[in-house]
Amino acid sequence: MKLHKVRTYKSAEHLAREDQLAWKFAAMAADDVPLDDDVVEMIGNRIIDNASVAAASLMRRPVVSARMQALAHPYKRGATVFGLPADQRVSPEWAAWANGVAVRELDFHDTFLAADYSHPADNIPSMLAVAQHCGLNGSALARGIATGYEIQVNLVKGICLHEFKIDHIAHLGPSAAAGIGTMLGLSTEQIYQAIQQGLHTTTTTRQSRKGEISSWKAYAPAFAGKMAVEAVDRIMRGEGAPSPAWEGEDGFIAWLLGGPKAEYFVPVPEIGERKRAIMDTYTKEHSAEYQSQALIDLARRMRSSVKDFSKIASIVLHTSHHTHYVIGTGANDPQKMDPNASRETLDHSIMYIFAVALEDGTWHHEHSYAPERAKRPETVALWHKVSTVEDPAWTKRYHSHDPNEKAFGARVVITMQDGSVIEDELALADAHPLGARPFKRPDYVRKFRTLAEGIIGQEEQDRFIKTVERLTELTTDELAGLNITALPGKCEPGKAHGIFDWQG
């Protein structure tokens, strides 16, 4: 692994293709190295994880809307859509769209945090759709996913987007495009162009995760996946891309990030090096923004020490810069304290999350966000006593490159009305690889069965798990088995109509 320095170059300067970040990523993507066994197992875990959260979200309005859009684009070969029979196919970019929304809607799958943050499993829907449409096998799919994770994770390590209010899907467009290129066995030149188109078409602002957060938070990664599919399609037809996309004088760094004088250092595997970045990532046990995972676990641990919640005077979470300014009181978002806020807003309010977890001693992807739960008077009173402050020590741990130091937790100080103090801290979520109960394959399967209960039949659940266990052995025909079909009545069509189903 080498650090590649990335900066802006004037048009009059010569920057050889081989020295551009997009080319280095493309060369790595085209390098057909074997996958380690633990990497293959983790890829399978993330496919199961995606299916889990997709099953639980099948009847949520954003997912229904995206599915209806996809169904307006049937295709003879095509790709499958979560919840529908495997023989019901749509055009691959629309399958990527519908499945991407289903995977992302509950904010409940894997994560990677470093200089920026991401949900790398957002790469998978677009790759699975293309693999099914193009008649690829399980081995090709696994190699593509490994590439997508490699690029996503290394971009997140090297380039901070949120500092400049750019949404993190700007790292997803290039990674998904590259992963698709790996699957299809495209040349370095083709993947190079696709990566740059992927970046150019997915640079959007972070307003999608600010203020009155809407359903677009779930749609944004699906949009990036759809753009990646379309980018690769154009490149395969001989089209090109804005180059160099990152380093150009009017490019991404110069105008959307740190400017012409900024320098970034991005890790890039050397040719022949195994792709192992997926092993740096971690999933969620709780359906909430990742910085809240450890705090939910900590709230469950602390609640037994609080005899009367009404006697609490204040709760202060001493935490990292990111947690304070993105999901804490440092964001200065009044919506984060509003009982009428959307689910998307509440899962980005650590004040709300900690209060509910402290009261309930648990967290549920639906019940914990229910409007009647958010409006409970005693909850609102407790919620409004919670605040966050940045602690430099937690910020340092958040940004550490040492996995044994890196942490996403907080120190919590609960002050009672009588002046007594209850204090505790937790660095990592229990389910984190270095946490108290690291997630293994049985945990992913349990999460899947819990979220799929009453939605996906027991026999279908069993079939899906067995299919994933044979991932790299799957034939072209068997790849459709990575879809999950819902029970009758659990995946109904939507009622709202758009342009694609306009009746006049």
The DSSP line for 247-287 is TSTTSHHHHHSS-TT-EEEEEEPPTT----GGGG-B--SSS
List pLDDT tens digits, range 47-73. 999 999 999 999 999 999 999 999 999
Residues in the chain: 504
Each residue's pLDDT tens digit, 491-504: 987 777 888 877 66
Domain ranges of the chain: 2-283, 290-426
Rounded (10°) angle between helices 37-56 and 92-104: 80
Residue 502's pLDDT is what? 74
Identical fold, 2-283 and 290-426: no
pLDDT in tens, 428-482: 999 999 999 999 999 999 999 999 999 999 999 999 999 999 999 999 999 999 9
Would you state the pLDDT for residue 140? 98
Q: What was the pLDDT predicted at 504?
A: 61
Q: Give the DSSP H/E element, type plus range, for residue 289.
A: none
Q: Which residue do the tokens 């090709």 mark? A: 140
Nearest to 357 by CA among 326, 390, 383: 383
* Residues of the chain with confidence (pLDDT) below 70: 503-504
Report whether 336 contacts 380 (CB < 8 A): no
Superfamily of domain 2-283: 2-methylcitrate dehydratase PrpD (1.10.4100.10)
**Measured CA distances, 390 to 117, 220, 240, 394 (Å):** 18, 29, 45, 8
Cβ-Cβ contacts under 8 Å for 376 (sequence gap 6 or more): none
The CATH H-level (homologous superfamily) assignment of domain 290-426 is 2-methylcitrate dehydratase PrpD (3.30.1330.120)
Distance (Å, whole) CA 103 – CA 411: 31
CA angle 170, 173, 176 (to 5 degrees): 140
Q: Taking the CA atoms of the chain, what radius of gyration do you get in angstroms?
A: 22
